């Protein structure tokens, strides 16, 4: 299965000034989902790559700052990657997808909670499946540490980042 980037979204959400949220997404990404033999979920695999320069928060100046060495440093670390190490059913069609997330040259294990949202055949005969996924990471664990203290206390950018996935995948004939 190949991830269809035209019908998928890799998004994130982070606290700003301790009381608001900034949301954004990455527009350039690719990935594949490989099912285990005879549909064995436990033997399945997920691999994905995101081009960090495609970040879009709806505010050009902020996006440039996020691409800079203060944050992602896209010149040195142009991609974010995910490679699953385990796929486990949790019940009711939900999955726990554990894998290695690499951001800013740092790899950490993360768990994505994934739900299949449906499947079907599109008007052109392609078999498709939909998934949603979510996890929360501490950006400091990936050496993304830039911040500013606020006069009123607290920090400008929250440390916890919620990653949200809306994925549509197309079965590939091999």
Quickly count helices (H) and strands (E) in the chain: 1, 11
The pLDDT assigned to 11 comes to 97
Question: Minimal CA–CA distance to 44: which of 55, 56, 33?
Answer: 33
pLDDT in tens, 54-88: 999 999 999 999 999 999 999 999 999 999 999 99
Whether the CB-CB separation of 141 and 107 falls below 8 Å is answered with no
Cα separation, 140 vs 154, whole angstroms:
16
Percent of the chain beyond pLDDT 70? 99
Is the pLDDT higher at 20 or at 116? 116
Q: Which residue has the tokens 């607290």?
A: 154
Tell me the C-alpha to C-alpha distance, in Å, between residue 128 and each of 63, 89, 117, 122: 32, 20, 11, 7
pTM: 0.91
pLDDT for residue 174 is more than 80: no
Name residue 106's beta-bridge partners.
Answer: 103
Question: Minimal CA–CA distance to 96: which of 41, 25, 40, 169?
Answer: 41
Name residue 82's beta-bridge partners.
Answer: 48, 101
Cα separation, 140 vs 131, whole angstroms:
28
DSSP 155: B
What is the helix (H) or strand (E) element at residue 97, kind and residue range?
strand 94-103
Cα-trace Rg, the chain: 17
Number of other CB atoms surrounding residue 124 within 10 Å = 6
Mean pLDDT of the chain: 92
- Across residues 130-146, what is the average pLDDT? 94
Cα separation, 29 vs 94, whole angstroms:
23
- Across residues 126-154, what is the average pLDDT? 89
């Amino acid at each position: 299965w190949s991830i269809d980037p035209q019908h998928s979204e890799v998004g994130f959400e982070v606290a700003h000034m301790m009381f608001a949220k900034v949301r954004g997404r990455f527009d350039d990404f690719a990935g594949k989902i490989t099912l285990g033999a005879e549909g064995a979920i436990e033997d399945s695999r997920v691999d994905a790559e995101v081009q960090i320069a495609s970040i879009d928060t709806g505010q050009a100046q902020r996006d440039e700052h996020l691409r800079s060495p203060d944050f992602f440093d896209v010149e040195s670390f142009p991609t974010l990657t995910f490679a699953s190490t385990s796929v486990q059913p949790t019940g009711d069609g939900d999955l726990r997808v554990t894998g290695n997330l690499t951001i800013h040259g740092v790899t950490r294990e993360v768990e994505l909670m994934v739900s299949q949202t449906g499947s079907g055949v599109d008007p052109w005969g392609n078999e498709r499946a939909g998934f949603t996924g979510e996890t929360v990471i501490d950006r400091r664990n990936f050496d993304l540490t830039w911040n500013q203290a606020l006069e009123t206390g607290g920090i400008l950018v929250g440390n916890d980042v919620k990653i949200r996935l809306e994925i549509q995948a197309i079965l590939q004939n091999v």
